[in-house]
């Protein structure tokens, strides 16, 4: 399991605060869900042929032999809670939740056995306007975080359950004729649910999938109208997207609209930062009344990595202040507080440690500081303030009473 320290997220708290403020503006309300649910609940909701059910659940049994599971995703628990509390029958309900999920996966960067998700779920509306609104909400999240240019939207319709069953027969024939040798897991998928091969991580299968028949020809007029309406609404609202005919989600409860926001500039591994879609049959499947629903989840670890990789300048110091002698510490403190008071957007750090001046000069580079401000004063030395720009090495002496203007000017020049 992965632990976190405060230096990893300048990230965690600011990200969460911005996300929740925006979600609240769309009238979503928090729901707090248990980490543990009955194993049977997930098997019923997610689908027995999915990778999550087959090999990624953390299961255990109580003293009576009853099976429980650490939640691998939040939608199922949210639906279960909504049914039990009577929140989603004949009414619109908008919920969000945040917390840890658990999957027995091979740990790697951005993929952990314990990870955190923010989930957004809306029940009671079947109109394509809601699909568009949810996607626009996620786009506004990226805008708020300043990462719009680093993400791209992929979109598809996987139709109704009945339409997928017809499509599945075609896929079974296609894969049987195309792939001569399959591993055990893929062979099982081919027999039980060929649709799941579209989500395969195997290189050979991923390559062949590109030549497979698409589901669009198997969609009903109703499903096509819904999808075309969604695309039109996104066009009207200036949301750019890419149609991906082979986009499927790794959970069986989805129907019609599915979407993913993936890294736009990572060709080798396009990590999915956010994914979701419609699940109009799940509420009834879990014992509730027939209720249309749509939702999505954001992976917070992957989101933090994306921000950290692409917005590293946000971690940089603007000024690093170094007093050359211990006698200059008081003056350095006055200078640093003057900068913080008058230039409130700048990040400033002052070195009060004892040690050689040469060693102190290493610290600004370690902190990615833009400027170094050197305070030279001592028993036999007249006070001097020097500004040095680390990007080009330029340095100059400034008058003591112009520190604010000179720092502001140097920051914008460098």
Domain residues of the chain, as ranges?
12-159+219-312, 316-413
Q: Which residues are annotated as a binding site for L-histidine?
A: 73-75, 103, 117, 121, 249, 253-254
pLDDT at 305: 86
pLDDT single digits (tens) 328-364: 888 889 998 999 999 988 888 898 888 788 888 888 8
Contact yes or no for 280/289 (Cβ under 8 A): no
pLDDT tens-place string over residues 59-73: 888 888 899 999 999
Q: Are 134 and 120 in contact (CB under 8 A)?
A: yes
Helix residue ranges, H only, 118-254:
128-145, 161-178, 184-192, 203-209, 221-236
Question: pLDDT at position 266, please?
Answer: 64
More confident residue, 268 or 284: 284
Q: Which of 326, 403, 402 is nearest to 360 (CA)?
A: 326
Q: Which burial class, exposed, middle or buried, applies to 101 when counting CB atoms under 10 A from its CB (0-12, 13-18, 19+)? A: buried
- Model confidence over 12-23: pLDDT tens digits? 777 888 899 999
| 410/34: higher pLDDT | 34
pLDDT at 56 over 90: no
pLDDT surpasses 50 at 383: yes
Report pLDDT for 282: 96
The H or E element that residue 58 is part of is: strand 58-61
User: What pLDDT sits at residue 157?
Assistant: 97
332 CB neighbour count, 10 Å cutoff? 21
Which residues are known binding-site members?
73-75, 103, 117, 121, 249, 253-254
At residue 316, the 3 state secondary structure works out as: coil
Instruction: Please report the beta strands in 332-411, taking only residues with DSSP state E, as ranges in sequence order.
Output: 348-350, 371-378, 381-389, 395-398
Q: Which of 136-150, 180-194, 217-231, 240-254 has the lowest mean pLDDT?
A: 180-194
The CATH number of the domain covering residues in 316-413: 3.40.50.800
Supply the pLDDT for residue 7: 44
Give the percent of the chain with pLDDT over 90: 46
Q: How far is CA 141 from CA 97, 134, 278, 366, in A?
A: 16, 11, 20, 31
Q: Can you list the pairs that 178-185 forms with residues at least 24 positions away whose Cβ atoms lie under 8 Å? A: 178/208, 178/211, 179/204, 179/205, 179/208, 185/54
Quickly name the fold that domain 12-159+219-312 has: BirA Bifunctional Protein; domain 2 (3.30.930)
Residues 300, 304, 305: CA angle, nearest 5 degrees: 120
| Residue 146 Rama label (left phi>0; alpha psi -120 to 50; beta) | left
Q: What is the mean pLDDT of residues 384-390?
A: 83
CA-to-CA distance for 319 and 112, rounded, in angstroms?
36
pLDDT score for 34: 95
């Amino acid at each position: 399991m992965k632990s976190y320290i405060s230096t990893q997220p300048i990230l965690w708290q600011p990200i969460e605060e911005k996300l929740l403020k925006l979600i609240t503006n769309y009238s979503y309300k928090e729901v707090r869900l248990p980490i543990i649910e009955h194993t049977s609940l997930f098997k019923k909701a997610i689908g027995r042929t999915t990778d999550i059910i087959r090999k990624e659940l953390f299961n255990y049994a109580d003293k009576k032999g009853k099976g429980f599971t650490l939640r691998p995703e939040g939608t199922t628990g949210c639906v279960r809670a909504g049914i039990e509390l009577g929140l989603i029958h004949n009414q619109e309900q908008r919920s969000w939740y945040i917390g840890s999920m658990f999957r027995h996966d091979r740990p790697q960067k951005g993929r952990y056995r314990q990870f955190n998700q923010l989930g957004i779920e809306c029940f009671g509306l079947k109109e394509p306007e809601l699909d568009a609104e949810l996607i626009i909400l996620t786009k506004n999240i990226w805008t708020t975080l300043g990462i719009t240019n680093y993400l791209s939207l992929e979109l598809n319709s996987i139709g109704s359950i009945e339409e997928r069953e017809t499509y599945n027969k075609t896929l079974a024939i296609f894969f049987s004729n195309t792939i001569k040798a399959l591993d055990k897991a893929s062979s099982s998928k081919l027999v039980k649910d060929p649709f799941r091969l579209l989500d395969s991580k195997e290189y050979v299968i991923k390559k062949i999938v590109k030549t497979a028949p698409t589901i669009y020809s198997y969609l009903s007029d109703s499903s096509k109208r819904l999808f075309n309406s969604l695309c039109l609404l996104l066009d009207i609202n200036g949301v750019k997207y890419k149609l991906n005919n082979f986009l499927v989600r790794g959970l069986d409860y989805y129907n019609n609209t599915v979407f993913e926001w993936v890294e736009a500039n990572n060709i080798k591994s396009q990590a999915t930062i956010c994914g979701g879609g419609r699940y109009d049959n799940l509420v009834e499947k879990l014992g509730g009344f027939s209720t249309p629903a749509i939702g999505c989840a954001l992976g917070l670890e992957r989101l933090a990595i994306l921000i950290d990789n692409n917005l590293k300048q946000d971690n940089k110091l603007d000024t690093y202040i170094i007093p050359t002698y211990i006698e200059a510490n008081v003056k350095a403190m006055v200078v640093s507080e003057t900068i913080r008071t008058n230039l409130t957007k700048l990040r400033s750090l002052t070195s009060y440690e004892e040690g050689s001046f040469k060693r102190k000069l290493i610290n600004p580079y370690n902190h990615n500081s833009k400027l170094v401000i050197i305070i030279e004063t001592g028993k036999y030395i007249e006070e001097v303030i020097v500004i040095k720009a680390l990007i080009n090495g330029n340095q100059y002496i400034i008058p003591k009473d112009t520190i604010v203007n000179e720092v502001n000017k140097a920051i914008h020049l460098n």
